[in-house]
Structure 1
Amino acid sequence: MNMVHDVLDATSADDIVVRWASEPWEIEQAHAIRRDVFCIEQGIFVDDDRDAIDDNAQLLVAVCGADSATPYVVGTVRIHASAEDTGCWHGSRLAVRRDFRRQGRIGATLIMLAVSSAHALGCRTFLATVQAQNAPLFRRLHWRTLEELVSFGREHHRMQADLARYPPCHTPFTGFVIHQRRAA
């Protein structure tokens, strides 16, 4: 079974570190994953999925081989505080490379750090508009559907995280480690 731990644990080249993006290469690769998922794979956007939210959002990344000579981003999500309500935060654009989906709890750990780091910054409500096929994952992670809607021509759920299930994370730039299975 894969385990998620604080990043202070020893990591190996196969492990994935989920953290706030800080390096230009992390940001560039995160945007490339979003383009692959939302523009090419799903066809929601034509050339790029970036919008005005990106100007004030914090990108989170899942980095494979973070301690190696050639680390690379395998997943991303963005978070931002609401302009109208400083206690309300939003998550969006959760994307994981196709070849890393369903392995190592990448999406779940990105969600965990997104909510926990916002919680540490004073978040009282954390919301996301989630594609309908991903709503079951969010429910397993202690989110509830507030409403069902259509956005960008697709069914979505507007969902809210149960903050009691997400203790504040005060070290988002170091984040969490997903230990991958080791060959015996």
Structure 2
Amino acid sequence: MDTDRFDAPPFAPSEYIVRLARTRWEKAGHFALRRAVFCHEQRVFAADDRDATDDVAIPIVAACCVAGLPEQVVGAVRIHESEPGLWQGSRLAVHADHRRLGRIGGELIRMAVCTAHGLGATRFLAQVQAQNVPFFRRLHWRSLDEITLHGLPHHVMEADLAHYLPHGCEQTWLLRPQRAARRRA
């Protein structure tokens, strides 16, 4: 019997939501995902990546949906105003099993910058790991400086706010992955 014919493809959600974390489970998922990526996977931090910024930051999440309801946080970023008009984004993380979609990180960035812009940002900065600089450049960011942060090469980058329409904090975006066309037998 040929068992390969019965192997199902891995589960792929039909949709994701992207929004400011509203519920206790979304906030817990935000921190759990960051810990998984920055502590366990990348080993940037030993046990926890939380810092004083978390006391003032706005957490943003992407959650995969099952039967139309958010089920698991698979993307996270946080934003905060460091001085009047100057907003910063940090701790962008996407669950390893959902990176293949390729749009979750971009949508988290867009939600972060558009939200900050709606809250009065005149500038939006982030410290971006060097390997992610080309991705940010495609999203209308420019590098201002190269630095070392947590022992890793980073760039201080600035978003071009003209490409990010301001909006309020109540936005929820629905993201539907593009399905690859099946090959015909």
Aligned residue-pair number:
169
Q: Give 1:99 shift.
A: 0.6
Aligned to 2:113: 115
Residues 104, 149 of structure 1: CA spacing in aligned structure 2 closer, same or farther, 3 A cutoff? Answer: closer
1:80 counterpart SS class = strand
Structure 2 unaligned blocks of 5 or more: 1-12
Root mean square deviation of aligned Cα: 1.6
Amino acid at match of 2:90: S
Write the distance in 2 (CA, Å) between the matches of 1:43 and 1:179: 31
Q: Give 1:181 shift.
A: 3.1
Residues 113, 70 of structure 1: CA spacing in aligned structure 2 closer, same or farther, 3 A cutoff? Answer: closer
Calculate the TM-score normalised by the size of structure 2: 0.86
Amino acid at match of 1:113: M
Which structure has the larger Rg over C-alpha atoms? 2
Contact 2:17 2:70 in 1 (8 A): no
1:176 is aligned to 2:178: no
Write the distance in 1 (CA, Å) between the matches of 2:143 and 2:170: 29
Residues 131, 183 of structure 1: CA spacing in aligned structure 2 closer, same or farther, 3 A cutoff? Answer: closer
Contact 1:92 1:128 in 2 (8 A): yes
Structure 1 unaligned blocks of 5 or more: 1-12
Aligned to 2:23: 23
Write the distance in 1 (CA, Å) between the matches of 2:179 and 2:113: 29
Q: Give 1:104 shift.
A: 4.7
Post-superposition CA distance 1:10-52 (Å, at most 9, x none):
xxx6211110001000011111110111001111111100000
Amino acid at match of 2:103: R
Q: Give 1:169 shift.
A: 1.7
Amino acid at match of 1:179: R
Aligned to 2:145: 147
Post-superposition CA distance 1:55-85 (Å, at most 9, x none):
0000000011176456111100000001xx2
Amino acid at match of 2:173: F
Write the distance in 1 (CA, Å) between the matches of 2:155 and 2:172: 27
Write the distance in 1 (CA, Å) between the matches of 2:156 and 2:180: 40
